[in-house]
Structure 1
């Protein structure tokens, strides 16, 4: 199903699972990983049979950020990826969910390190689950760098202002419990079970009407920067047409007949 040597792709029912697969380097981002990630987001959006996406990491860790040496490529083996990155200068930002938002819900299943670029990618996901031993943080300022993955814009919109600034300006690590307390992640589960919990959430999403799920996600993000009046107007324009769909009628019939609905994206 595609993928690269640093990004594996698997299908579980209606869920596409993307796995950062470079555990010997704590899944630090490489050219192969970024190209695989972007192709995975696109594949999920183009396949109407896929209703949700789970992003996780191999080897008990999520992502330790950018690997500048790996991004430079590894001889001829990395040439195909460098060619892709040169052909689309935005590709790495799209892969990291900075310049691309999949229309399907994205659930992060985090174990171990989720720091620097890992925490930045995390902010592009919709629902987040972490093992209790996971570690988060934006370490860039400790190295005299800037977190260009979107954190200075997104973080304060996702968690309280004071917590966002503390994370950005101190560069200190955060435990899973603390990340949950400030709202960066939604659930903390026993180590090793984050993927199972993410797939459980994905299955709940998969049982819902796909047109409704995608419209709801789009509405949340589209209206985030609007006034309440403009947001409500936009919501009505997006949501009202759904009531005339075959899926909406099927949902009502299934409820009346006490059976699971069979949605057809119509």
Structure 2
């Protein structure tokens, strides 16, 4: 199992749990964290026994974004990982899900701060749960910076444009209730229970046919920018093969026999 000093990896049944683990810095991004994240996404996709991923943070925060001390020139922690970044200059963007999409569903469990780079990573996740005291926002413009992790492209496609532009152009914090009201997160739960709620969602995902789940996720993203007519054609190409799988037949049999299905990814 992968992992680094700033990224903890563990298994909960068929769910791979990735925990941003730098609580003394509110889980601000570091090189060890980014390397661990990218390796975690690869591990999840390479292991057929993993059916979902939960991303969370240690110490009551999700992620406070980039380490501004490092940006100011004081150096990023984890110099021993520098060769990884040299070998793959896009590694940090892939780690942040800017232009890397795992085929397994990714569920975010947010407590505390999820701001700047944290909100950018959030946009790469599929299902999002937040504790009621969580805080979101893209603070970059307030510091004279640009949210270059994909937010000017993705955020207006995920929430109404007026809300996206307000978030992008004001740099103000958003409480969890407001984040839910504009569609940035899907569910707000009592503080301290976001991870439990995310794991419950993951268990429901895990109980479904893995080939079907992955095909559905792929179809949603593949068709997002197509016209409706083009999207429906694309959906058939993704969807019809699922009906020919042994898992589909097992699902129908289990329903008829009033039992839980035993999916084998076949």
Tell me the equivalent position of 1:111. Answer: 111
C-alpha distance in 2 between matches for 1:241 and 1:3: 35
Q: CA deviation at 1:257?
A: 0.4
Asked whether the 8 Å contact 1:98–1:150 carries over to 2, the reply is yes
Q: CA deviation at 1:81?
A: 1.0
Asked whether the 8 Å contact 1:21–1:58 carries over to 2, the reply is yes
C-alpha distance in 1 between matches for 2:162 and 2:26: 29
Tell me the equivalent position of 2:55. Answer: 55
C-alpha distance in 2 between matches for 1:16 and 1:28: 21
Q: CA deviation at 1:70?
A: 4.8
Q: Name stretches of at least 5 consecutive residues in structure 1 with no aligned partner.
A: none
C-alpha distance in 1 between matches for 2:175 and 2:76: 33
C-alpha distance in 2 between matches for 1:159 and 1:146: 19
C-alpha distance in 2 between matches for 1:66 and 1:107: 21
SS of 1:54 mapped into structure 2: strand
Q: Name stretches of at least 5 consecutive residues in structure 2 with no aligned partner.
A: none
Tell me the equivalent position of 1:89. Answer: 89
Q: CA deviation at 1:254?
A: 0.2
Matches within 5 A, 1:1-266: 1-70=1-70, 72-74=75-77, 78-266=78-266
* RMSD of aligned alpha carbons: 0.9
C-alpha distance in 1 between matches for 2:240 and 2:224: 19
SS of 1:130 mapped into structure 2: strand
Asked whether the 8 Å contact 1:73–1:82 carries over to 2, the reply is no
C-alpha distance in 2 between matches for 1:130 and 1:67: 23
Query: What is the aligned residue count?
Result: 263
C-alpha distance in 1 between matches for 2:148 and 2:111: 23
Q: CA deviation at 1:80?
A: 2.5
C-alpha distance in 1 between matches for 2:117 and 2:210: 30
Q: Deviations over 1:47-75 (max 9, x none)?
A: 0000000000000000000014458334x
Q: Given the two structures, how large is their TM-score scaled by the length of structure 2?
A: 0.97
C-alpha distance in 1 between matches for 2:28 and 2:152: 21
Q: CA deviation at 1:150?
A: 0.4
Asked whether the 8 Å contact 1:31–1:70 carries over to 2, the reply is no
Q: Given the two structures, how large is their TM-score scaled by the length of structure 1?
A: 0.97
